[in-house]
Every structure is written in C-alpha cells, then in structure tokens.
Chains A and B, each alone.
Chain A
Amino acid sequence: MMITPENLVRHELIGLPIEVVEGRNPSQVGISGRVVDETRNTFLIETRSGDKRVPKSTNSFLFTLSQGLKVKAVGSVLVSQPENRINKKMRRSRWKL
C-alpha cells in the first residue's frame, strides 16, 4: 500500500527520509537522514556522521514521501511499536494531541 499523509502514522517508516524539525533538545534539531530502525520510543536515523538515536515523543519530524511530498508529524502520535501502530486508535482531531 502506498504511503500517503493520511496513513503515515500507521505505515512502516523504516527507509523514509526524515528530518528533526522541532524538539526539546536543541542539539537534535536539524538531524536529517534515513530511518534505519525504530523502537517504541525512538528512531535510529542514519546520517552522514553516523547513526543517531532520536526520541519520538519530544520531537517533531519532517518526512519526505514519494513524489517529494513533505509531511510534518508530531512525534507523540508515532509513539508505539511499529507492529502495533497499525491498530492505534485516535480519538483526537487535527492539532489536538
């Protein structure tokens, strides 16, 4: 199934280009690369200067989808094991987290 902004939260994210655009830790903002691994609370990002592990809940991420579509996702909605994220129920709407 093709990855779209609507199904991004429930999709496999490993392999996608990613950038940390906002976050509580200023030294992690700006890290960009490709997702190579994912745990419940972190992403492992392959950058030019090595692999970096970045927490999900305190950061916002910019994903580049196919056709160059840029999508910003708040990390707290991605907190879940990748295999369980497909079933994640969300009662909130839009910016309300």
Chain B
Amino acid sequence: MKYYECNLHTLPDGSDSPSRMALAAKKLGYSGIIISNHSPAGVAFRLDAAELVRGIEVAIGAEIVATDQRGLHARAASLRDRADFLAVHGGDERINRAACEDPNVDMLAHPHGGRTGIGVAAAKAAKDNQVAICLDLGPMISLRGGSRVRWMEMVRRDLDLIDKFDLSLMISTSPRSHLDLRSPRDLVALASLLGVERERALKALALPGSIVELNRRRWASVGVEVL
C-alpha cells in the first residue's frame, strides 16, 4: 500500500521547504506528501526543488481557512480546479458543517479544534458529499495530562460518529516542520490507542493517494471523464 501524509504545511506556513519535507517523508516510508498550505492558492515556496526528489510524489493541495460558510463555499469553488486536494481547516461547529456540506471539499482537517467535534448533522452531510474526516494526531503528541485526556475523549466520541455513518477517515499529524513528521507505523500505533484498528488505519493512510489520483483526471462534468 502507498501511504500519504495528507496535511503538510511548508514554507511560508510551516518552517521547512517542500524538498526537505519530501526527503524526510521518504525516509520515514511515505510514498507521497500533499502540501496543503493556508496561503492563497496554497502556493508553496520553492516547490520545483521538491518535485526533483525521486521516489516520492509531491501533490499540491490547499487548506481553506474560512470565517463564514459563504466564504468557504466561494473559496472551495475557486480553488477546486487548481488544487489536487482540497482540505478545510475546521474547528468551529459552523465551519465543520459547511465543509461537510460542500462536495468540492475532499477533507475536513482539525475538526476537534473547538470544544465540539463533528456533530451528527455534519457527519450525515459528510457521508452524502463524500468528505473525509482527518484524524489529526498532532495534539496527542503535543498535549500532556488532563488536556490530552479531554482531547482523546472528544476524538473517541467523533470516532463513534465516523463508525456510525461509515465516513472515510484519514490520519495525519499536520506537520509544520520535518521534525513533526511521524512514520506510518507510528501513526498506526497512535491511532490504535484511540480504538482505530490496524487495517482501518492503514486504509486511512492510503486514501489520500487515491483521492489525488481521482482529482488529477480530467472531469468534464459529474461522472464524465475525458480520456
């Protein structure tokens, strides 16, 4: 199986260049990375160098940071044709729901930023619009003590919802530096602490690759592909 790191931030959002990230990810055993920066159009600094790194695929995605639903839908529609992978920075309940209701969106990242998680309405919409939910394991590594316990409780609740509605799951640590990257094996082990079985975690790590592959094809309209 080919594993992808799906929510990676490079310069100017993160602290490392795309090529350094690509080299570090390759060393850890990834087949590809998806650079999803917050900056307009997700443009990464010195991307050409990363594309020269052999043995790893570098895909350009974008992560939308929106304050209201209308802005989110407009940004998603405008970025859709330019980005191979479109994520939305969630956290707020309204933004989580708006992201799940937009079929242009591929993934909802950081849905557990606020006190609330996904919620039933958003989970239902995510199922209808095939929006994947990203299980961001970054807080599990960085938080300590009570705050980590509370975070884990919230994620467990959301994982129950993800199971109930049979949503697509992706796993990431949202790295901003090459030091934040964790190997697929580490991510599977961390996810198992949250109750995600090994097979499911491996599938979650491989899913971004298949979505990028689908997005790169030429779609003339819904379900119609130009060969």
* A53 CB to nearest B CB, Å: 21
Find out whether the CB atom of A8 lies under 8 angstroms from the CB atom of B224. yes
Find out whether the CB atom of B103 lies under 8 angstroms from the CB atom of A71. no
- Interface-forming stretch among B29-37, B113-121, B212-220? B212-220
Find out whether the CB atom of A90 lies under 8 angstroms from the CB atom of B221. yes
- Interface-forming stretch among A29-37, A38-46, A72-80? A72-80
Q: Which residues of B contact A20 (CB under 8 A)?
A: none
Question: Does any Cβ of B come within 8 Å of A97's Cβ?
Answer: yes
Asked whether A9 and B221 contact (CB < 8 A) given A62-B227, A70-B227, A71-B226, the answer is yes
Find out whether the CB atom of B227 lies under 8 angstroms from the CB atom of A76. no
Find out whether the CB atom of A73 lies under 8 angstroms from the CB atom of B227. no
A76–B103 Cα gap in the complex (Å)? 17
A97–B225 Cα gap in the complex (Å)? 13
Asked whether A72 and B224 contact (CB < 8 A) given A93-B104, A95-B217, A96-B103, the answer is yes
Q: Which of B189-227 contact A (CB under 8 A)?
A: 214-215, 217, 219-227
Question: Does any Cβ of B come within 8 Å of A92's Cβ?
Answer: yes
Question: Does any Cβ of A come within 8 Å of B183's Cβ?
Answer: no
Find out whether the CB atom of A96 lies under 8 angstroms from the CB atom of B130. yes
Question: Does any Cβ of A come within 8 Å of B26's Cβ?
Answer: no
Find out whether the CB atom of A93 lies under 8 angstroms from the CB atom of B227. no
Find out whether the CB atom of A90 lies under 8 angstroms from the CB atom of B220. no
Find out whether the CB atom of A92 lies under 8 angstroms from the CB atom of B224. no
Q: Which residues of A contact B223 (CB under 8 A)?
A: 9, 73-74, 76-77, 95, 97
Question: Does any Cβ of A come within 8 Å of B20's Cβ?
Answer: no
A73–B226 Cα gap in the complex (Å)? 9
Contact of A97 among B104, B222, B227 (CB under 8 A): B222
Given contacts A9-B224, A72-B224, 6 further A-B contacts (CB under 8 A): A5-B226, A72-B225, A76-B223, A77-B224, A90-B221, A93-B103
The chain A residues found within 8 Å of chain B, CB to CB, are 4-9, 62, 69-74, 76-77, 90-97
11 contacts between A and B (CB under 8 A): A4-B220, A5-B220, A5-B224, A5-B226, A6-B221, A6-B224, A92-B129, A92-B222, A93-B80, A93-B219, A94-B219
